[in-house]
Structure 1
Amino acid sequence: MSALRKSAESAAGTDTGLDAHLVVDRGTFRLDLRLEAAAGEVVALLGPNGAGKSTALRALAGLTALTGGSLRLDGTVLEEAAGRRVPPEGRPVGVIFQDYLLFPHLTALENVAFGPRCHGVPKREARALAADLLDRMGLADHAGVKPRRLSGGQAQRVALARALATEPRLLLLDEPLAALDARARLDVRAELRRHLAAFEAVAVLVTHDPLDAMVLADRLVVIEHGEVVQQGTPAEIARRPRTDYIARLVGLNLYQGEASAHTVQVSPGLTLTTTESLTGPAFVAFPPSAVTLSTTRPTTSARNAWPARITGMESHGDQIRVALTSTADGLPLAADLTTVSVAELALEPGAEVWAELKATQTHAYPA
């Protein structure tokens, strides 16, 4: 066990994991986030731009001071708003930024050895530790290479090795795959998942990409306007989104209304039939692929049909994502159609159509 790990475990005592209440006031914006995570858990922070994700990450790293709340890691107080505050360099925290921020004048080996050297580890020991980490990352042959000659995936792995070299008790990842192209992203995501699965401390991931979050994280915490709006496992979040942002994130249409038996009144002009029987405030979710469009009023057995106007169209994988609004109340709707269907129906922005949805394709749950 290295001196760094001994020091961290001695300070931690018997408690492990993250226990944080992050309060940061910035004029018109306020972050008020409670965040707990067990050792070995990967938590993803998701939210729209301006939700407070980056502020939370900076607060955890010690780069932004708390104006309220506290931060404990492995039972040790790292910060209290009106008391103790451990500076960034004194925290057992590793950070991977989206552009990796590798030192351009240092080799991969020297980049990884930099952190331990700053913590007083002798040069030979630091270089041996760095060489071992690079070998585990599959980069033993690139130890003497400088960042400009590394691919995006290789640079990401060097950045991960550098963050792990100080044996952090909290690993922060800020959009770690954002700088990669689609092809490299697939491979590096799989590698990162493997390394995070073996990480024994807490990892907090900030990302805009729902796939990154679903693949890499054990638990998702969604924040909007500086507060948590929903948290749970990826499956729970995908199954029961509770805000429009989350529904779009997981690719669902989401309406909220008042349930009575097998119907949910979403608005005065729209009542949806569902297979679930509920009473009281409820959500109704359904995928865009469940929606069919026609230019005349449907005569099929589908229980749900309402008029809508097309507001936009764009390619979405091998289909066309059609954006619509209900003509009765302006509620938004997304439908996925094949290019053949779009051509046969002669759909275009501004066209008025009928949206159709089978009750069996909906999922209703309490709001």
Structure 2
Amino acid sequence: MTDEHTVTERRHTAGLDAHLRVERPGFTLDLALRAAPGEVLALLGPNGAGKSTALRALAGLLPLGGGHLRLDGQVLEDPAAGRHTPAERRPVGVVFQDYLLFPHLSALDNVGFGLRCQGRSKQESRAQARDWLERLGLAEHAGARPGKLSGGQAQRVALARALAVRPRLLLLDEPLAALDARTRLDVRSQLRRHLAEFEAVAVLVTHDPLDAMVLADRLVVIEDGAEVQSGTPAEVARHPRTDYIARLVGLNLYQGTGEGHLVTLPDGVRVEAAEEVSGPAFVAFAPGAVTLYRERPATSARNVWELTVTGLDLHGDQVRAELTGPLPLAADLTPAAVAELDLSQGSRVWVSVKAAQTHAYPA
């Protein structure tokens, strides 16, 4: 009975259980994080939101002013009890944005460094490091120093070094930010495979929505030091709850009051949506759902407004038009459509959005 109780207790305490409270002049981080073993949690948010502060607190590089940090049931930090486990004694691996590899050591010895710090012999450390380099496709670069490695290779050496010590918490700080677009695509795919095989908790800090959507099981969006939304990537993308998230996933987002299929915004503009909603509500549609005309259209669309073009920017293979007026919004058009409509800054246009492409949900 005791054994069964112990196993059950371990199952419930496994993983990350943290309440991070850090105060700095003019800024407070107050964030609760929980993740199960095998789960990849992405912290997403604008610059200055508190992502890096949270990562440094988890790593033990920044002391908590309040809250707690438990990993697999072990208390690593509890300010109220005077408990703070130094960074070097935490079962945590970190992959930094600029990798922080030792320039005078080979890739093999960089990977083996943490193992030597754990008291392993040089021979054992090198054997395990060689195994990790092979797993990440770097066996032929074992003797190379960081200066001879490409950005993608250096990133994988840093990942191998972090994984070699078998951490119970893996922290990834903008791990793909320093890579060029082509390398980033390849390394993102490899990183996804290795994270899928990782049996402990991984926390990824990024401002890139694609990295977060591809690599994470769950997103925690932070603004001004606090969580504003969390959920699976699909949930957050479908139902953004702040302007930052809406811009991140490429949606026009508004908040108002729903009554049936209509959502009335604070300034009186009414938007018809596919769903029925009652009370405080969000309403959203993609820039690609917007159609522009130079004259008022004879269309069945209920959502029609006259707006002014305030900006035109290339957005991938399309042009993103920014418009202002009764309902400020972004619209995506082909370059041919921009030419045909003879659009420029200051152009007055009519826009329509079909209700079927407009989505409402409770606020």
Shorter-chain TM-score category? over 0.9
Question: Which residue in 2 is equivalent to 1:282?
Answer: 281
Q: CA–CA distance in 2 between the matches of 1:126 and 1:187?
A: 28
Question: Which residue in 2 is equivalent to 1:173?
Answer: 172
Matched AA of 2:69: L
Which of 328, 333, 340 is the equivalent residue of 2:329? 333
Which of 53, 57, 60 is the equivalent residue of 1:59? 57
Give the deviation of 1:332 after TM superposition. Answer: 3.0
Residue correspondence of structure 1 range 294-313 to structure 2 within 5 A: 294-313=293-312
Which of 12, 15, 20 is the equivalent residue of 1:22? 20
Question: Which residue in 2 is equivalent to 1:242?
Answer: 241
Q: CA–CA distance in 2 between the matches of 1:33 and 1:228?
A: 6
**TM superposition outliers: structure 1 runs of 4+ over 6 Å:** none
Q: CA–CA distance in 2 between the matches of 1:103 and 1:236?
A: 41
Q: CA–CA distance in 2 between the matches of 1:333 and 1:268?
A: 15
Q: CA–CA distance in 2 between the matches of 1:263 and 1:357?
A: 13
Give the deviation of 1:325 after TM superposition. Answer: 1.4
Q: CA–CA distance in 1 between the matches of 2:223 and 2:181?
A: 27
Give the deviation of 1:241 after TM superposition. Answer: 0.6
TM-score of the superposition, structure 2-length normalised?
0.95
Is the Cα–Cα contact under 8 Å of residues 270 and 306 in structure 1 kept in the other structure? no
Q: 1:13 to 1:117 in 2, by over 3 A?
A: farther
Q: CA–CA distance in 1 between the matches of 2:261 and 2:91?
A: 53
Please give the secondary structure, in 2, of the residue aligned with 1:98. coil
Matched, 1:76 2:77: no
Give the deviation of 1:156 after TM superposition. Answer: 0.8
Residue correspondence of structure 1 range 206-355 to structure 2 within 5 A: 206-326=205-325, 328=326, 331-355=327-351
Give the deviation of 1:267 after TM superposition. Answer: 3.5
Matched AA of 1:44: A
Question: Which residue in 2 is equivalent to 1:106?
Answer: 105
Matched, 1:143 2:142: yes
Matched AA of 2:141: H
Give the deviation of 1:279 after TM superposition. Answer: 1.0
Q: CA–CA distance in 1 between the matches of 2:210 and 2:43?
A: 13
Q: CA–CA distance in 2 between the matches of 1:62 and 1:124?
A: 30
Please give the secondary structure, in 2, of the residue aligned with 1:177. coil
Matched AA of 1:144: G
Query: Could you list the per-position Cα deviations for residues 186-207 of structure 1 after superposition, in whole angstroms to 9, with x for gaps in the alignment?
Result: 1100000000000000000001
Give the deviation of 1:18 after TM superposition. Answer: 0.2
Give the deviation of 1:152 after TM superposition. Answer: 1.0
Please give the secondary structure, in 1, of the residue aligned with 2:154. helix
Q: 1:125 to 1:13 in 2, by over 3 A?
A: farther
Residue correspondence of structure 1 range 178-193 to structure 2 within 5 A: 178-193=177-192
What percentage of residue pairs aligned between the two structures are identical?
Answer: 70
Matched AA of 1:316: H
Question: Which residue in 1 is equivalent to 2:36?
Answer: 38
Q: CA–CA distance in 2 between the matches of 1:111 and 1:299?
A: 67
Please give the secondary structure, in 2, of the residue aligned with 1:277. strand
Q: CA–CA distance in 1 between the matches of 2:278 and 2:117?
A: 61
Please give the secondary structure, in 2, of the residue aligned with 1:126. helix
Give the deviation of 1:269 after TM superposition. Answer: 4.2
Q: 1:298 to 1:267 in 2, by over 3 A?
A: farther
Matched AA of 1:349: Q
Matched AA of 1:302: A
Please give the secondary structure, in 2, of the residue aligned with 1:72. strand
Q: 1:160 to 1:234 in 2, by over 3 A?
A: same
Q: CA–CA distance in 1 between the matches of 2:182 and 2:116?
A: 35
Cα RMSD after superposing both structures: 1.1
Is the Cα–Cα contact under 8 Å of residues 259 and 278 in structure 1 kept in the other structure? yes
The 10-residue stretch of structure 1 (79-88 or 262-271) with the greater mean CA deviation from structure 2: 262-271
Please give the secondary structure, in 1, of the residue aligned with 2:112. helix
Q: CA–CA distance in 2 between the matches of 1:294 and 1:101?
A: 53
Q: CA–CA distance in 2 between the matches of 1:277 and 1:269?
A: 18
Q: CA–CA distance in 2 between the matches of 1:260 and 1:193?
A: 43
Q: CA–CA distance in 1 between the matches of 2:48 and 2:181?
A: 25
Q: CA–CA distance in 2 between the matches of 1:364 and 1:49?
A: 29
Q: CA–CA distance in 2 between the matches of 1:335 and 1:248?
A: 12
Q: CA–CA distance in 1 between the matches of 2:342 and 2:241?
A: 35
Please give the secondary structure, in 1, of the residue aligned with 2:311. strand
Is the Cα–Cα contact under 8 Å of residues 24 and 65 in structure 1 kept in the other structure? yes
TM-score of the superposition, structure 1-length normalised?
0.94
Is the Cα–Cα contact under 8 Å of residues 98 and 175 in structure 1 kept in the other structure? yes
Give unmatched runs, 5+ long, in structure 1. 1-11
Query: Could you list the per-position Cα deviations for residues 296-337 of structure 1 after superposition, in whole angstroms to 9, with x for gaps in the alignment?
Result: 2221111101121111111111100011112x3xx5311000
Please give the secondary structure, in 1, of the residue aligned with 2:241. coil
Please give the secondary structure, in 2, of the residue aligned with 1:99. coil
Q: How many residues align?
A: 353
Give the deviation of 1:295 after TM superposition. Answer: 1.7
Residue correspondence of structure 1 range 117-156 to structure 2 within 5 A: 117-156=116-155
Q: 1:352 to 1:74 in 2, by over 3 A?
A: same
